[in-house]
Amino acid sequence: MSHEDGMRVRREVLGDEHVDAAIERTTEFTADFQDLITRYAWGEIWARPGLDRKTRSAITLTALVALNHHEELAMHVRAALRNGLTPDEIKEVLLHAAIYCGVPAANRAFAVAQAVLDES
C-alpha cells in the first residue's frame, strides 16, 4: 500500500490529533522510520481484511501489556475506543492479559487505561 493509504488508516485508528503531533515531531533523522510504520504497520497490517479493527485493537493492547510498553498503551486505549471496544471490553482484555502477561504488567496497564477513560 502507499504511504497515503497507510496515513488514512493511521488517522482513522489513532485520530488526527495524535497523527498531526507525530508528523510535527518528525525530523530528517526520524522521517524514514515514520514512513516505515505508516506504510507497513498501518498500510499493510492494520489494513488487512482478515481481522476487524476491534480485534486488532484487543491484540495490540495485549502485546503492549506483555512488553510493558505503557508509553504506547494510552494511545492504543484511545484507538481501541475509536475502533469500537467498550470500556468493559478493554477491562476484559486487561484482565485476560493479567493471566498471560503478569499481574504487575496488567496493574500498570489498568492505571494507564483508567487515566485515558477519565479523559472522556
Measured in residues, the chain has a length of: 120
Percent of the chain with pLDDT over 90: 93
CATH 1.20.1290.10 residue ranges for the chain = 53-119
Confidence at residue 58, expressed as pLDDT on a 0 to 100 scale:
98
Residue carrying C-alpha cell 476491534: 54
Confidence at residue 39, expressed as pLDDT on a 0 to 100 scale:
94
Residue 100 DSSP SS3: helix
Mean of the pLDDT values across residues 80-85? 98
pLDDT band at residue 100 under the 50/70/90 scheme? very high
Confidence at residue 72, expressed as pLDDT on a 0 to 100 scale:
95
Instruction: Reply yes or no on whether the pLDDT at 1 is more than 80.
Output: no
* Separation of alpha carbons 83 and 64, rounded Å: 17
Give helix 16-25 / helix 3-14 axis angle, nearest 10°: 130
Confidence at residue 120, expressed as pLDDT on a 0 to 100 scale:
78
Confidence at residue 59, expressed as pLDDT on a 0 to 100 scale:
98
Confidence at residue 41, expressed as pLDDT on a 0 to 100 scale:
95
Indicate yes or no: pTM above 0.85: yes
- 53-119 under CATH 1.20.1290.10, yes or no: yes
pLDDT tens figures, 18-68: 999 999 999 999 999 999 999 999 999 999 999 999 999 999 999 999 999
